Every structure is written in C-alpha cells, then in structure tokens.
Amino acid sequence: MTACGSKEEEPAAPAATPEATQAPEASEAPADTAAPADTAAPADNAAAGEGGTLIVGTEAGFAPYEYLDGDKVVGVDMDICQAIADALGMTLEIQNMDFDGALLAVQQGKVDMVAAGVSVDDERQKVMDFSSKYVDSTEVVVVNASQGRVGTPTFDELNDKIVGVQQGNIADLYVSDEENCKPEKIVRYTKFAQAAEDLKNDKIDCIVMDQYPAEELVAGSGGALKILEGDPLFVDSYAIAVKKGNQELLDKINPIIEKLIADGTIDEFFAKHTTAK
C-alpha cells in the first residue's frame, strides 16, 4: 500500500498530553495554535455494538489516513472506522482534535476509539489498548529540496540538526530518545502543513514522518520538498486505540479489521485516498 498528494489544514494548538505519550519539555512547539474540539462521552452500548453511536477521535491533518475534504473528515482510517460501524450496526461520529488530545480523550473515555495513524509502542500500551495492526508505517526524512544539511535518512544525520515532528507521535518519541540521536532542537507541530512551511523557509532542517503523508506533503509542495532516498529511518505499525481494559470493543472490531485486510479492502481504501504519483 502506498500513499501520496497534499491535503493539510492550518495548525491547531496541542491539547493536554498524557504522561505516557508526552514529549520532553526541552524542545519547542509552534505558538500559533487553537484549542482542540470538545469531546462528548461515548454511547454506553459502544462496546456491545448494539446500535447507537460509535465515537472516533482523530486529527485530520495526516493524509491519506485522515484529512479534510471541505468540512468533512475523510481518509483511510475513517473508511476503516465506517466499515466497523456499519458491521456493528452503529452510527459513526468523528471528532477532529489534536493528536495528543485524541489519545487523552480515549484514555478518559470521551471517545470510544482513536484512529489517527496511531503507532503501537510499549509506553502507550500501559495506558490504552490496541486493535489488530492494520498497516506497517515506514518513517522517512523530508528535507528542503534546495539544501543539503541532512544527507541521508539516518539517526546520526539528525545530530545537531533542527528536526520537525508531529507532537506526541512515534517520530517525536524516537527523535526525543537521546540513545537514537541528539538534535540541536526538536520543533513540535500539531499540523504537518505548518512544518512544511517552516521547512520551505529554512526554519528547520528536516521533518521526520510517515512515508504515506510525506509523499502527500511533497507532492503538494511544488518541488520545494523531497524525501531523502535510502533505507527508512525506522518502521512501526498502526492500530486503533481504545480505552485500557475495553476488551469487549476489541473483540468486536478485531475480526472486522482482519477481514478488511484479508479481502483487500484496506488496499482499496489506500488507492481511493492516494493522489501523489
């Protein structure tokens, strides 16, 4: 499955971040932001799948997984969630918020699940549970096409550089680990659109992000940005996050996800939402 095109929105402010996913305070996040959307309590019967509303939290600035088409949130993850809701006989409600805010909302039970290109890692598994994995994520390095400050997609190349990441996501966690690299500064964004503008204007040296949205970002940059060629920086996997202990909901959604993988439906979702070539 490959992805590609540029579908981003203006940046919004980060929400309160749970301790298990919060990035270190030593680096900076952009100040030009707005608060995340409010979240409502999920339906009591969401886990049982007996009608009602299935509430999913997401961050619609991560094409092709989730992005805005007008005022509607669409994307691969949203198609997966719609397929889950349909199979359970439920109505899907999508709540668009900051990535960190979505992770906090599912921990607090304000949403039933989060689908936002959420990587599975040990720290997150302490505070939330995960569905079956539905895609492997390849992390790459995006640079300004006219500069050569970062030459190869390796952690050593990130030493003493100004590195942009999405706040709270897996790239943030990897780059923040001094056993991997020691950047001069890590700049954390709520939206990749703002990171792309800063990279074009040489305010940062690179962005570390998933290959699929990176291809979308580059395709929409008019040749200003490029992905460094070479092996991926690292590889991880995405899954749907649910509240810790909500095994009943996992037992409902896992067979649906596994069927979507087995019959090629998720591949079709990627083809539908891919625009970069």
Taking residue 24's Cβ as centre, other Cβ atoms within 10 Å add up to: 12
The number of domains in the chain is: 2
Can the peptide bond before residue 11 be classed as cis, meaning omega within 30 degrees of 0? Answer: no
User: Alpha helix (H) ranges present in the chain?
Assistant: 76-88, 99-107, 122-125, 155-158, 170-176, 192-200, 211-219, 247-262, 265-273
Position 100 in a domain: yes
CA gap 45, 200 in Å, rounded:
47
Examine the domain organization and report whether 212 and 230 are in the same domain. yes
CA gap 101, 113 in Å, rounded:
12
Position 11 in a domain: no
267: CATH = 3.40.190.10
For residue 115, give every residue at least 6 positions away whose Cβ sits within 8 Å of its Cβ, in sequence order, or none: 56, 57, 58, 65, 66, 77, 78, 80, 81, 240, 241
Examine the domain organization and report whether 100 and 152 are in the same domain. no
Position 180 in a domain: yes
Position 161 in a domain: yes
Examine the domain organization and report whether 227 and 153 are in the same domain. yes
Position 23 in a domain: no
Do the beta carbons of residue 73 and residue 96 sit within 8 Å? yes
Position 246 in a domain: yes
- Provide the pLDDT for residue 275: 67
Give residue for tokens 């706040």.
167
- Provide the pLDDT for residue 35: 38
Overall pTM > 0.85: no
- Provide the pLDDT for residue 38: 43
CA gap 34, 51 in Å, rounded:
34
Instruction: Write out the residue range of the structural domain in which residue 191 sits.
Output: 137-235
DSSP state of 150: -
Q: Which amino acid is present at 239?
A: A
Examine the domain organization and report whether 94 and 121 are in the same domain. yes
Dihedral, CA of residue 178, residue 184, residue 189 and residue 193, to nearest 10:
-120
- DSSP β-bridge partners for residue 128: 243
Q: Residue 179 is encoded by which pair of tokens?
A: 């056993």
In the chain, which stretches have pLDDT less than 70? Answer: 1-50, 275-277
